Structure formats: structure tokens, C-alpha cells
């Protein structure tokens, strides 16, 4: 009987932590939209990855598999971080403060947000 309650408690804790994580990424994303530089969409994201200007790529959950794998591959080649957003493209667009769907975002300058630290500053913050 205690085992079932324990599993239920763990499920509630993980759901609560996921919700906090989503709220955290959404608030950081809102700060990037206000103070940082970014591009929305697949073509522009690929362009920033090819030019080496992207710091972080955020991909929605329902981005097509081929596009997702291409974004991940280019990000790996350009040594850029990838975050898989836990919502679909409608929710990602809403998190960006837009009234349209957004499948992927490339953050080129985080502004005041700590969502994507520059590669040089990331090592300094770890120490």
C-alpha cells in the first residue's frame, strides 16, 4: 500500500518539477525576446548555425524529424547547444510572445537572460 502512495508522490513531484522547468525556460525566453537577439524559423536558424552565430537552438516537440536531425547535426558541427522545448510549435510561439507557430529558435545574443551563456563566459561561471 505504501509503495503505491510513494509512486504517486514521485509522479506528483516530477510533474511539479517539469512545470517549474517549463516556466523557467518560458521566463528566460521572454527575457531574451525583450533584451536579446534571436531568429525564428528553420531557414534562418540554419543560416545562423552555418555562420557560427548561434549560441543556443530551441526546437519544439513537433518539429519534423528530418528538420530536427538537420538542426541537431549543424548544431553539433558548430558546437552550439540544443534545447528540446517540451511543448509544440504553438506553445513555443506563445512563449516567444508571438501569435504564430514557431518550430525553432536560434538565440544569437542572450541579452540580460542567462538562457544561453556565451562560450567564453560559460567556462568562467563554472569555476
For position 91, what pLDDT does the model report?
94
Q: What is the pLDDT of residues 59-77, one digit of tens each?
A: 999 999 999 999 999 999 9
Neighbouring C-alpha atoms within 13 Å toward the C-beta of 74: 22
**In the predicted structure, residue 4 carries a pLDDT above the cut 60:** no
**117: CB partners within 8 A, 6+ apart:** 55, 110, 125
**In the predicted structure, residue 55 carries a pLDDT above the cut 70:** yes
DSSP 91-121: HHHHHTT-SS--SEEEEEE-TT--SS--HHH
| 3-class secondary structure, 61 | coil
Q: What is the residue-averaged pLDDT of the chain?
A: 82
Strands 81-84, 56-59: parallel, antiparallel or unpaired by DSSP?
A: parallel
Looking at per-residue confidence, does 45 or 5 come out higher?
A: 45
For position 14, what pLDDT does the model report?
62
> How much is the CA Rg of the chain, to the nearest whole Å?
16
For position 8, what pLDDT does the model report?
55
Helix (H) or strand (E) holding 42: helix 42-51
For position 78, what pLDDT does the model report?
94
Residue 79: left if φ>0, alpha if ψ -120 to 50, beta else—which one? left
Query: How far is it, in rounded angstroms, from Cα 73 to Cα 65?
Result: 12
Amino acid at each position: 500500500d505504501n509503495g503505491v502512495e510513494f509512486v504517486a508522490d514521485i509522479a506528483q513531484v516530477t510533474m511539479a518539477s517539469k512545470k517549474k522547468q517549463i516556466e523557467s525556460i518560458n521566463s528566460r525566453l521572454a527575457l531574451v525576446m525583450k533584451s536579446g537577439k534571436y531568429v525564428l524559423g528553420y531557414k534562418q536558424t540554419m543560416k545562423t548555425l552555418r555562420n557560427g552565430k548561434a549560441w543556443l537552438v530551441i526546437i519544439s516537440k513537433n518539429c519534423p524529424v528530418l528538420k530536427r536531425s538537420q538542426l541537431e547535426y549543424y548544431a553539433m558541427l558548430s558546437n552550439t547547444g540544443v534545447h528540446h522545448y517540451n511543448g509544440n510549435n504553438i506553445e513555443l510561439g506563445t512563449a516567444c510572445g508571438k501569435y504564430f507557430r514557431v518550430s525553432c529558435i536560434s538565440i544569437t545574443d542572450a541579452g540580460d537572460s542567462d538562457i544561453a551563456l556565451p562560450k567564453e563566459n560559460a567556462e568562467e561561471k563554472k569555476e
